[in-house]
Structure 1
Amino acid sequence: NARGVAAVHDKDGWLGALRFWQRLESEGALTLRVWQSLPAEKADELGALGIASGFGNTRLRLGYLKVFMDGTLGSQTARLLDGSGVEITSREEFANLIRHAARAGFPVAVHAIGDQANRDALDAFEETRGEWQRLGLRQRVEHAQLLAPEDLGRFAQLGVAASVQFSHAPSDRDLADRLWAGKTENAYAFRSLWDSGALVVNGSDAPIEELDPLAGICAGVLRTLDERAAWHPEQALTVEQALQASTVNPAWLAGDERRRGKLLPGYYADLVVLDRDPVTSAQDELPEVTVVATMLSGTWVHNPPPWA
């Protein structure tokens, strides 16, 4: 809460995470809204129990099932179109998991880093779209770090969200320049995805990056973390876009667009007080914006007033 976090999409699908959040909720100590993932292999068990996405209360709900297509950039296991990398889940296997998840009433979040992994994930969503689109399931590709140009527009065409992490772009720039030499114009392509009409959702990927929404917004706008020039500045977003990707869009992905993500009458009073307006501040001041206080459902959960 001290960093302005009012809600999380917990991608750690192991069952211990759910028990942890349940314990906090039962103790009255859960000061976040949690959209919890579960392993995709549990789809049939969940379906048999009649437990579907949205099960829970206003603080803790089951959200989606998690799948991995490939590895990571740093370990050189991201699956690329040149044949390199590691395939964790094949396109055919993933399509089957989507079907089982849809029958159980769950959307899927699929980890895909390399351009081949992303293509396979999009192919599987396209192959199965008749089984999940009619149910209104809000699917997502997690990370979408390297995309072939011809796949960029498919997120919007299929209605699959690009759930990315703005902080990864400046953090990974040196590794990406070395390991994906000649391909980085299609890496961390946040502006291209946005302009294509895709729903771009920004998260932190904590603990890989810090759980700090303002740091992520800075990374999405500035595309640098140090004194160096912006890395691929053509992929930078505006402050307004970065804020929307960190507030409105995640709420929509969790099916909460009529209850949170905006400050409107009838919505939950989940809000953050900042020390200045990031929209009107000069870009070089963005890293200096700080959280003053955080509210959840009309209750201050960090630094209640009066403020100095």
Structure 2
Amino acid sequence: MRIETLFVNGRILTMDPSHPEVEAVAVADGRVRATGATAELLARRERDTTVIDLGGRFACPGFIDPHNHFSLTALGPAEADCRTPPLRTIAELQERLHALAVTLPTGTWIRAHGYDETALRERRHPTRFELDAAAPDHPVVLVHWSVHRCVLNSAALSALGIDATTPDPPGGWIVRDRQGLPLGPLYETATNAAQAVSLRAYAARLAEHAPELFRANARAHLTFGITALGDAYVGPPLLRLYRAAAAAGAMPLRVSAYCGGTEGLFAPPHACLTDPATWPDAGSGDGAFRLVGVKLFVDGGGNTTATSLAGHASHPSPRPPRVFYRQEELDALVEAAHARGLQVAVHAAGDVAVAMALTAMERARAKHPYREPRFRLEHAVLLTDDLIRRLAAVGAVVVTQPLAITYHASHVARAPLAEGLRYLPLRDLLAAGVPVAASSDAPCYPLDPLLHVWAAVTRATLAGEVHAPEQRVSVEEALRMATVHAAHATFTADEEGSLAPGRRADIVVLSADPRTVPPDALCAVRVEAVYRGGELVYERARDGAAPAVGRWLPAS
């Protein structure tokens, strides 16, 4: 056996049940060839073998973020950064928008991202007129941190034909004044046209810059130890940018993508299901990018418009939550994707939506039992024992965001849920045999996988409380959620997620063993080095610390 690189003297958690923890890993051709004791593998090294002494440090497989919006965040440098904090007022949002508008030709679409109305001094959404004051000559789409709502200025509303006569679409609504005129904020499916048109404009304008934008975003992910991810929404404009970046060799991490609707983020992916020619040459050929499935939305954001029989008190929306499909519509979409051999990822946050998604999955599997479904349920924040049982029976993977507990669980606690309904019951899911994968849903939550590990282990909230402590998981279980379970969710467990022989040699070296530090100190653990295919791609001492924004937790 040839050994090109040998990692020795480490505390290496492999996620391989046959050899769960080892001292050394042998690598050749970018893959793990053997694991074991340092002395054993040193005895098998060759003259030209590179030996990397871990000096007793902890290492594990590269982190995988299975629900991420990489292609959207790659556009971030070309958008107005309106995150709150650091911004605190609508006037500051206006300043950011104006600063970008004066650099662009009149009529150019402007996207802005990251605001949270509850973090603004005014405690409300901006209006179309306030955006007009900042950028009167450009159509503006200001996207909420959740991506489930946005605010448009008058130019954008006019360009999209949204006026007093425009009806609310199924699953969404337009905020209006007393005369019925749109005020600017749009919710859920009402944002589809704004997202689709502005993304098409950005993709056309930034096509030649795609390699540099995607490369920079990939580098930011690597600083947090993320070596692979799942992009949870890729429409045709974003697909074109991916292909340009992959062709230029600008993807130093691997992406498994889920196609969405051409008419917007929350639209059904009809083109992907009925006309495969719509997605020509979707993969990059080198494994850096591949299209693996479809994304469907059944309800709204998990902390605002999730559909629940018991209601949800966190940041109440102006309208009651609603589902995006009738059951028979959802059944048809899930079956069509499953019959084609596409993985189905279904956004379902509340218990009503989860029940609908599971019904569609059960019916599709009954009609096509010969296919390996590997259904994904995204978020699943409100669950009952019966829903957990059905999740296990249908073989679905739950892909969720543990930091949602930190941000939102205290709001849920203020309005107790109905008996039997629980908020992100991670312990119960694992006990039932349901694979749970941890993800960032970036830009909605910070990228850092170690923050999600901390949240799953402590269940600490921003209010200083511990929500449902009986649902806490161990550090090792949380690390599995960010590695081997995440690989299971993206259908890549044969390639990554563990350091078993034959898997890719994606290795993260940490500043401390997260299993031995106090739970509250998990936030202080840092990524020291990242190896992709056995090659060093990030070293903290050489390349600097990870961007502060990736570790940011907002004030409550």
TM-score by length of 1: 0.90
SS in 2 for 1:152: helix
Which region of structure 1 is more displaced relative to structure 2, 6-15 or 49-58?
A: 49-58
Is contact 1:55-1:62 (8 Å) kept? no
Structure-2 separation of matches of 1:132 and 1:179: 41
Structure-2 separation of matches of 1:304 and 1:49: 42
* Structure 1 residues 138-169: Cα deviation after superposition (integer angstroms, max 9, x where no partner): 11110001012221111111101111111111
Structure-1 separation of matches of 2:486 and 2:513: 21
Structure-1 separation of matches of 2:379 and 2:507: 26
Structure-1 separation of matches of 2:415 and 2:238: 33
2:248 matched to 1:30?
no
* Partner residue of 2:334 out of 98, 111, 119: 98
Which region of structure 1 is more displaced relative to structure 2, 180-189 or 275-284?
A: 180-189
**Aligned-residue RMSD, C-alpha:** 2.6
Q: How far 1:281 moved relative to its partner?
A: 2.3
Q: How far 1:305 moved relative to its partner?
A: 7.5
Q: How far 1:50 moved relative to its partner?
A: 9.4
SS in 2 for 1:11: strand
2:249 matched to 1:20?
no
Bigger-Rg structure (1/2): 2
* Structure 1 residues 105-161: Cα deviation after superposition (integer angstroms, max 9, x where no partner): 201111111111111111111112124542112111100010122211111111011
| Structure 1 pair 227–259 and aligned structure 2 pair: CA distance change class (3 A) | same
Structure-1 separation of matches of 2:540 and 2:478: 26
| Structure 1 pair 74–187 and aligned structure 2 pair: CA distance change class (3 A) | closer
* Partner residue of 1:231 out of 463, 467, 476: 467
| Structure 1 pair 10–255 and aligned structure 2 pair: CA distance change class (3 A) | same
Which region of structure 1 is more displaced relative to structure 2, 178-187 or 229-238?
A: 178-187
Q: How far 1:82 moved relative to its partner?
A: 5.0
| Structure 1 pair 205–224 and aligned structure 2 pair: CA distance change class (3 A) | same
Structure-2 separation of matches of 1:56 and 1:163: 26
Match of 2:443 in 1: 207
Q: How many corresponding residue pairs?
A: 307
SS in 2 for 1:294: strand
SS in 1 for 2:503: coil
Which region of structure 1 is more displaced relative to structure 2, 146-155 or 52-61?
A: 52-61
Match of 2:521 in 1: 285
Identity over aligned residues, as a percent?
32
Q: How far 1:90 moved relative to its partner?
A: 2.4
Structure-1 separation of matches of 2:387 and 2:283: 30
Q: 1:48-63, aligned counterparts within 5 Å? A: 56-63=285-292
SS in 1 for 2:442: coil
Opposite residue 156 of structure 1, the aligned amino acid is A
Q: How far 1:13 moved relative to its partner?
A: 2.8
Q: 1:126-137, aligned counterparts within 5 Å? A: 126-137=362-373
Match of 2:309 in 1: 81
TM-score by length of 2: 0.52
Structure-1 separation of matches of 2:377 and 2:324: 15
Q: How far 1:53 moved relative to its partner?
A: 9.7
* Partner residue of 1:187 out of 423, 432, 441: 423
Gaps of 5+ in 1: none
* Partner residue of 1:8 out of 225, 229, 232: 229
Gaps of 5+ in 2: 1-221, 261-268, 312-319, 545-556
SS in 1 for 2:238: helix
Opposite residue 81 of structure 1, the aligned amino acid is L
Is contact 2:302-2:379 (8 Å) kept? no
Is contact 1:53-1:64 (8 Å) kept? no
Q: How far 1:218 moved relative to its partner?
A: 0.6
SS in 2 for 1:153: helix
Match of 1:166 in 2: 402
Is contact 1:53-1:106 (8 Å) kept? no
| Structure 1 pair 50–303 and aligned structure 2 pair: CA distance change class (3 A) | closer
